[in-house]
Amino acid sequence: MPSEVEVNYWFEKHRVIAAGLAGCGAGIGNLVLPPVLDFLIEEFGWRNTCVLLSGLGKRSSPSPTSSCANISVT
């Protein structure tokens, strides 16, 4: 849901296509992530894989200066 809201603010001309691609992100992640995690666990062990994933999660979190951060909800 947050990705779809962000897409609506960024795109005007091709908003429907952009929203459709944003909605596909979870499905693509579910398709790609298990084999990647299997490889990482075999190569680096489960503890190091968890450290790597926590770093990626922190890196991909939205910054406080993103376009939705200044929207007031009343």
The pLDDT of residue 19: 82
For residue 66, give the DSSP letter.
S
Alpha helices in 11-60 (DSSP H): 15-23, 25-59
Global pTM reads 0.54
Q: pLDDT by residue (tens digit) across 5-51?
A: 777 777 778 888 888 887 787 788 889 999 999 999 999 999 999 98
Task: Confirm if 8 and 19 have CB atoms less than 8 A apart.
Answer: yes
45: left (phi over 0), alpha (psi -120 to 50) or beta: left
The pLDDT of residue 74: 47
Residue 64: exposed, middle, or buried by beta-carbon count in 10 A (0-12, 13-18, 19+)? exposed
Q: pLDDT by residue (tens digit) across 50-73?
A: 988 888 766 665 555 555 444 444
